[in-house]
């Protein structure tokens, strides 16, 4: 059998010693130093396990042997051992290519598994866990490459920055140091710190590899790998790191784009803005959905539909701008108003901006619509305010001026147009730049002090005189403020001049007038004061202080009500409450209990001061002491009473004498019965009862005379007017009947009350009854007459009327107008005083009523009208 010549043939003895070598591979072997060596000396140590035992044990099975080749390499073979001519023949063939291909396939499979695992792990995790997962996979990658430290850098706002890392490659190397070096490295290859001069300086003590990940020609990420592991193979490292970095960068970019989109959407919502696009070859506009919703239109609409939403006043401008855009392709910037959904009033302002993009069919206009209604409204308000301010400054009666600060001095820089009408100067350029030149010589010190105070305190208010163009001087009120910059340094002064010449002159006249008024008030004999509605004094002059026995300075705070009785105080307050802006004046006579005096009567005139709502704020009053007049009048009334009593003396003597006669006769009769022994108990009891009745009758007459004759009370009281009628009749009724006068008295069923003095009203009635009696008796002397006097009372809710009427023939009409005059009488000389009716008239008037007279059918009729007292 022929021995093949391919591969390698090795002849062995039974002890596995090599007898001979043959074949093409013989020249590739590394032969041992001694001849006749064993087969084990020709192979690598890893193949010794295959050659255990003797050649007999090896036959019949395939042998994978790694022979030692020249140059320290290994020759991978596979063959069989067979017996040949008493020897053993080992026939092997070179299988190195097959093993290398298999190894590459295994490596490629592991790399595919690795990259797939990395990509899936980074791609499938949530964005919140992305950084943790990226670090976990980076640690796994470090173990795969047997690296002690790995670091991933991504492009950030400040250059290359570490995203995740496992371990530390070299302590103290910051991202800011690596960033400029990485910017100069090209993509597509793995860099070693040992081969790069700049990197070698940084990583000389610890080699490191730099693996880029690029998208197109731009590097998106860098992997730094350091440690004692095997050097990275460029293609493998680029592929594995690309599988890791591609989903990481993509997801971060997508997340950043999503964040930017959310921020943009939020910003658009807050700014009421949105994008829009118009393909110029089509009639349709495309709007941002949020913008379309706010405008109440579809997201895609025709140009004519959009123009219909434009305010008619801005529609033509919008059409022209869009037409120029189609023809010339210029950028669009337009401000217009868009109507709401109902196409009604209150349109909103929008700023429309856009740029032309693309060419040909792709030519389009892209832009932004921004709601500027608020800023437009503010702009319009600011413009209106500025116009009003400019008009105010131009038409203001005050001069607004500005002084510039420079090196401790102030220089005039601006004067408003009102300078000319006030002082006659046109502008500062006319030659007078320093206002100090206009100041009155006597006020120069005030001007200099004003400037010093302004620079020291920052504001000033002063008054001085300025010269106008004609040489006359005006009083001005100067109010100025110093403005400072952020460092607190003076910049300028802003102030106003207000012409107060008239006000100053008026103030001087007012001062002189107040002085004259003060002298008039203080020297006036009348009492002058001011007080609140609660009667608390605010001011009083010297006469009032004298009456109250204090000084004028002590008057404020004193309450006038403390000098009045409760009745007087209530009446006083009610009178003040009746004051109105239409009828602010009221006059009355008031009674006060003053120190050291029994009573004082003042004629008091009030004037109310009201606010704009008609509320009474204060009362000004002027008073005059009427005590002496009042006392004289009281004495007159009392004298009239006594005169009345004097005139009634004869009648009253009869009233008293009549009961005495009755009692004397009763006593005489009783004594006669006792002398005759005929006195019986019943008879004596009857006489004694008659005597007691007559005593009581005389006692009532005397008591009523005593009450009637005493002075009236100071304060008015409530009483029923018919009580005064009964009192007057108790004194006069018997006397009138004794003279043949018939009394016709019509007593009322219900008695209303009035305010006043019952004894004084009784005096009035007595005067009227006595006058009627005298008239009746005088007329009866001349003929037959049956005299009568009628008294009756009429009343309603508002007033009471007492009517006294007789049949004495009446009063001469020519005398009716004078009948109430003092000292006027129709009686003979020496018979009447002429004061009865005058005093009566005054009494009724003081009670708030009225006494009147008229001629009835048979005689005179006197009417006393009194107001009914109101309980409300």
Residue 479: in which H helix or E strand, if any?
A: strand 473-484
Lowest-confidence pick of 47-51, 632-636, 668-672: 632-636
Question: Which CATH number characterizes residue 424's domain?
Answer: 3.30.450.20
Residues 6+ apart with CB under 8 A from 641: 708, 709, 759, 763
In the DSSP assignment, the letter for residue 563 is: G
Residue 870 pLDDT exceeds 60: yes
pLDDT value at residue 618: 92
pLDDT value at residue 643: 58
- Can you read off the two tokens belonging to residue 728? 């007057």
Distance CA 361, CA 267 (A): 32
Tell me: do 250 and 182 sit in the same domain: yes
Tell me: do 289 and 239 sit in the same domain: no
Residues counted in the chain? 872
Distance CA 184, CA 167 (A): 25
β-sheet bridge partners, residue 284: 302
Tell me: do 868 and 726 sit in the same domain: yes
Last residue of a domain, one of 210, 235, 260: 260
Residue 69: in which H helix or E strand, if any?
A: none
Distance CA 43, CA 88 (A): 17
Could you tell me the pLDDT band of residue 430, with boundaries at 50, 70 and 90? very low
Tell me: do 135 and 231 sit in the same domain: yes
Residue 520 vs residues 530, 546, 585: alpha-carbon distances, Å: 15, 17, 21
Lowest-confidence pick of 218-232, 295-309, 434-448, 721-735: 218-232
Residue 527 pLDDT exceeds 60: yes
- For the chain, the domain total comes to 6
pLDDT value at residue 481: 92
Tell me: do 192 and 285 sit in the same domain: no
Q: Rounded to the nearest 10 degrees, what angle do helices 234-271 and 130-145 cross at? A: 170
Alpha helices by DSSP H, listed for 739-858, are 758-780, 836-846
Residue 44 pLDDT exceeds 70: yes
Q: Is residue 761 part of a domain?
A: yes
How large is the C-alpha radius of gyration of the chain? Answer: 67
SS (H, E, C) 76-123: EEEEEEEEECCEEEEEEEECHHHHHHHHHHHHHHHHHHHHHHHHHHHH
Residue 79 pLDDT exceeds 90: no
Distance CA 380, CA 388 (A): 12
In the DSSP assignment, the letter for residue 9 is: E
Distance CA 497, CA 479 (A): 7
Q: Is residue 638 part of a domain?
A: no
User: What are the pLDDT digits (tens) for 539-548?
Assistant: 888 888 888 8
β-sheet bridge partners, residue 621: 529, 606
Nearest to 249 by CA among 412, 119, 351, 70: 119
Tell me: do 188 and 230 sit in the same domain: yes
In the DSSP assignment, the letter for residue 231 is: P
pLDDT value at residue 514: 64
- Can you read off the two tokens belonging to residue 180? 């400029």
Distance CA 781, CA 792 (A): 27
Lowest-confidence pick of 50-54, 221-225, 660-664: 660-664
Torsion of the alpha carbons at 39, 40, 46 and 52, rounded to the nearest 10: 100
Tell me: do 128 and 16 sit in the same domain: no
First-residue to last-residue Cα distance in the chain: 160
Distance CA 626, CA 635 (A): 14
Nearest to 414 by CA among 426, 429, 402: 402
Question: Which CATH number characterizes residue 830's domain?
Answer: 3.30.565.10
Tell me: do 723 and 844 sit in the same domain: yes
- For the chain, give the mean pLDDT: 78
Which of 606-609's residues contact partners 24+ apart within 8 Å by CB, and which partners? Answer: 606/575, 606/576, 606/579, 608/576, 608/579, 608/580, 608/581, 608/584, 609/584
Helix (H, G, I), strand (E, B) or coil at 347: coil
Residue 830 pLDDT exceeds 50: no
Nearest to 40 by CA among 64, 57, 17, 70: 17
Residue whose token pair is 């400054």: 393
Q: Is residue 461 part of a domain?
A: yes
pLDDT value at residue 519: 67
pLDDT value at residue 303: 80
Tell me: do 600 and 458 sit in the same domain: no
Could you tell me the pLDDT band of residue 736, with boundaries at 50, 70 and 90? confident
Tell me: do 720 and 804 sit in the same domain: yes
Question: Which CATH number characterizes residue 162's domain?
Answer: 3.30.450.40
Could you tell me the pLDDT band of residue 429, with boundaries at 50, 70 and 90? very low
Last residue of a domain, one of 457, 474, 505: 505
Residues 6+ apart with CB under 8 A from 58: 51, 81
CB atoms within 10 A of CB 599: 15
- Tell me, rounded to whole angstroms, the distance of Cα 369 from its chain centroid: 35
Q: Is residue 584 part of a domain?
A: yes
Contact 554, 537 (CB under 8 A): no
Q: Is residue 691 part of a domain?
A: no
Q: Is residue 632 part of a domain?
A: no
Average pLDDT over residues 758-764: 80
Average pLDDT over residues 83-90: 82
Q: Is residue 644 part of a domain?
A: no
- Can you read off the two tokens belonging to residue 474? 């005006």
Average pLDDT over residues 814-822: 75
Residue 174: in which H helix or E strand, if any?
A: none
CA–CA–CA angle 130, 131, 134 (5° rounding) = 85
Residue 125 vs residues 133, 138, 248, 346: alpha-carbon distances, Å: 7, 15, 10, 51
Last residue of a domain, one of 324, 344, 378: 378
Tell me: do 165 and 239 sit in the same domain: yes
Helix (H, G, I), strand (E, B) or coil at 462: strand
SS (H, E, C) 578-638: CCCCCCCEEEEEEEECCCCCCCEEEEEEEEEEECCCCCEEEEEEEEEECHHHHHHHHHHHH
Nearest to 604 by CA among 585, 627, 583, 588: 588
Question: How buried is residue 837: exposed, middle or buried, by Cβ count under 10 Å (0-12/13-18/19+)?
Answer: buried
Contact 50, 65 (CB under 8 A): yes
- Domain range for 361: 272-378
User: What are the pLDDT digits (tens) for 143-159?
Assistant: 877 787 888 888 877 78
SS (H, E, C) 422-447: HHCCCCHHHCCCCHHHHECHHHHHHH
* Percentage, residues of the chain above pLDDT 70: 80
Residue 815 pLDDT exceeds 90: no
Contact 397, 417 (CB under 8 A): no
User: What are the pLDDT digits (tens) for 323-343?
Assistant: 777 676 677 788 888 887 665
User: What are the pLDDT digits (tens) for 439-453?
Assistant: 999 998 999 999 899
Nearest to 225 by CA among 149, 137, 309, 113: 149
pLDDT value at residue 696: 66
Residue whose token pair is 């255990």: 52
- Can you read off the two tokens belonging to residue 543? 């006469």
Contact 847, 758 (CB under 8 A): no
Q: Is residue 578 part of a domain?
A: yes
- Tell me, rounded to whole angstroms, the distance of Cα 400 from its chain centroid: 32
Average pLDDT over residues 381-385: 80
Could you tell me the pLDDT band of residue 459, with boundaries at 50, 70 and 90? very high
User: What are the pLDDT digits (tens) for 226-240?
Assistant: 766 545 667 777 877
User: What are the pLDDT digits (tens) for 361-381?
Assistant: 777 787 888 888 778 888 888
Distance CA 120, CA 251 (A): 12
pLDDT value at residue 816: 77
DSSP string covering 527-549, please? EEEEE-TT-BEEEE-HHHHHHTT
Tell me: do 359 and 441 sit in the same domain: no
User: What are the pLDDT digits (tens) for 152-198?
Assistant: 888 877 788 888 888 776 655 777 777 777 777 877 777 777 667 66
Higher pLDDT, 275 or 866: 866
């Amino acid at each position: 059998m022929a021995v093949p010549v391919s591969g390698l043939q090795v002849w062995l003895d039974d002890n596995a010693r090599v007898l001979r070598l043959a074949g093409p591979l013989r020249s590739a072997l590394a032969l041992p130093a001694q001849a006749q060596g064993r087969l084990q000396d020709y192979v690598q140590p890893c193949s010794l396990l295959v050659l255990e035992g003797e050649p007999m044990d090896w036959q019949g099975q395939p042998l994978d042997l790694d022979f030692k080749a020249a140059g320290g390499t290994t020759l991978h073979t596979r063959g069989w051992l067979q017996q040949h001519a008493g020897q053993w023949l080992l026939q092997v063939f070179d299988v190195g290519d097959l093993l290398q291909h298999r190894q590459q396939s295994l490596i490629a499979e592991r790399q595919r598994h690795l990259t797939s695992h990395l990509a899936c792990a980074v791609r499938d995790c949530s964005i919140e866990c992305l950084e943790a997962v990226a670090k976990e996979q980076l640690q796994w990658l470090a173990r795969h490459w047997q690296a002690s430290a790995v670091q991933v850098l991504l492009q950030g706002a400040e250059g290359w920055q570490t995203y995740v890392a496992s371990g530390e490659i070299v302590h103290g190397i910051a991202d800011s140091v690596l960033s400029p070096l990485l910017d100069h490295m090209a993509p597509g290859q793995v860099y070693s710190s040992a081969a790069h001069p700049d990197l070698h300086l940084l990583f000389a003590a610890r080699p490191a590899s730099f693996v880029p990940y690029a998208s197109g020609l731009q590097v998106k990420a860098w992997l730094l790998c350091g440690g004692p592991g095997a050097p990275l193979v460029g293609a493998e490292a680029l592929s594995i790191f690309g599988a890791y970095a591609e989903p990481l960068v993509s997801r971060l970019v997508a997340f950043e784009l999503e964040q930017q989109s959310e921020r943009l959407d939020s910003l658009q919502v807050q700014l009421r803005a949105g994008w829009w696009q118009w393909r110029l070859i089509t009639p349709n506009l495309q709007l941002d959905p949020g913008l379309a919703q706010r405008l109440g239109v579809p997201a895609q609409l025709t140009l004519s539909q959009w123009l219909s939403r434009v305010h008619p006043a801005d529609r033509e401008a919008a059409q022209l701008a869009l037409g120029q855009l189609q023809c010339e392709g210029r950028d669009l910037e337009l401000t217009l108003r868009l109507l709401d959904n109902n196409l009604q009033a209150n349109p909103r302002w929008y700023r429309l901006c856009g740029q032309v993009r693309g060419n040909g069919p792709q030519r389009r206009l892209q832009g932004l619509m921004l709601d500027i209604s608020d800023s437009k409204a503010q702009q319009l308000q600011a413009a209106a305010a500025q116009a009003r301010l400019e008009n105010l400054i131009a038409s203001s009666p005050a001069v607004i001026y500005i002084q510039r600060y420079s090196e401790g001095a102030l220089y005039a820089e601006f004067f408003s147009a009102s300078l000319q009408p006030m002082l006659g100067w046109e502008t500062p350029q006319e030659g007078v730049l320093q206002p100090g030149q206009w100041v009155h010589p006597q006020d120069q010190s005030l001007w200099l002090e004003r400037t010093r105070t302004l620079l020291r305190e920052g504001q000033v208010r002063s008054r001085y005189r300025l010269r106008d163009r004609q040489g006359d001087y005006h009083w001005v009120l100067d109010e100025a403020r110093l403005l400072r910059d952020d460092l607190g340094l003076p910049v300028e002064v802003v102030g106003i001049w207000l012409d107060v010449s008239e006000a100053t002159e008026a103030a001087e006249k007012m001062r002189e007038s107040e002085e004259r008024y003060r002298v008039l008030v203080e020297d006036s004999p009348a009492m002058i004061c001011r007080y609140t509605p609660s009667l608390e004094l605010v001011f009083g002059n010297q006469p009032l202080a004298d009456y109250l026995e204090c000084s004028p300075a002590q008057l404020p705070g004193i309450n006038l009500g403390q000098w009045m009785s409760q009745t007087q105080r209530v009446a006083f307050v009610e009178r003040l409450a009746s004051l109105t802006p239409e009828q602010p004046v009221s006059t009355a006579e008031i009674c006060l209990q003053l120190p050291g005096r029994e009573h004082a009567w003042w004629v008091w005139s009030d004037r109310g001061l009201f606010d704009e709502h008609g509320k009474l704020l204060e009362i000004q009053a002027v008073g005059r002491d009427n005590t002496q007049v009042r006392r004289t009048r009281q004495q007159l009334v009392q004298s009239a009473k006594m005169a009345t009593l004097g005139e009634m003396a004869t009648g009253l003597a009869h009233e008293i004498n009549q009961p005495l006669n009755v009692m004397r006769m009763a006593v005489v009769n009783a004594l006669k019965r006792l002398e005759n022994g005929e006195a019986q108990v019943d008879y004596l009891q009857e006489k004694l009862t008659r005597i007691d009745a007559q005593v009581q009758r005389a006692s009532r007459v005397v008591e009523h005379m005593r009450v009637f004759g005493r002075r009236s009370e100071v304060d008015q009281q409530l009483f029923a007017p018919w009580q005064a009628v009964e009192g007057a009749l108790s004194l006069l009724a018997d006397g009138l009947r004794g003279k043949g006068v018939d009394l016709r008295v019509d007593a009322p069923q219900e008695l209303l009350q009035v305010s006043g003095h019952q004894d004084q009203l009784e005096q009035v009635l007595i005067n009227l009854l006595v006058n009627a009696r005298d008239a009746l008796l005088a007329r009866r002397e001349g003929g037959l007459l049956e005299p009568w006097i009628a008294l009756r009372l009429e009343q309603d809710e508002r007033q009471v009327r007492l009517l006294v009427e007789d049949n004495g023939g009446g009063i001469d009409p020519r005398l009716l107008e004078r009948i109430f005059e003092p000292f006027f009488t129709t009686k003979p000389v020496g018979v009447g005083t002429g004061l009865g009716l005058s005093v009566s008239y005054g009494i009724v008037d003081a009670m708030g009523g009225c006494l009147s007279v008229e001629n009835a059918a048979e005689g005179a009729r006197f009417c006393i009208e009194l107001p009914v007292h109101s309980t409300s």
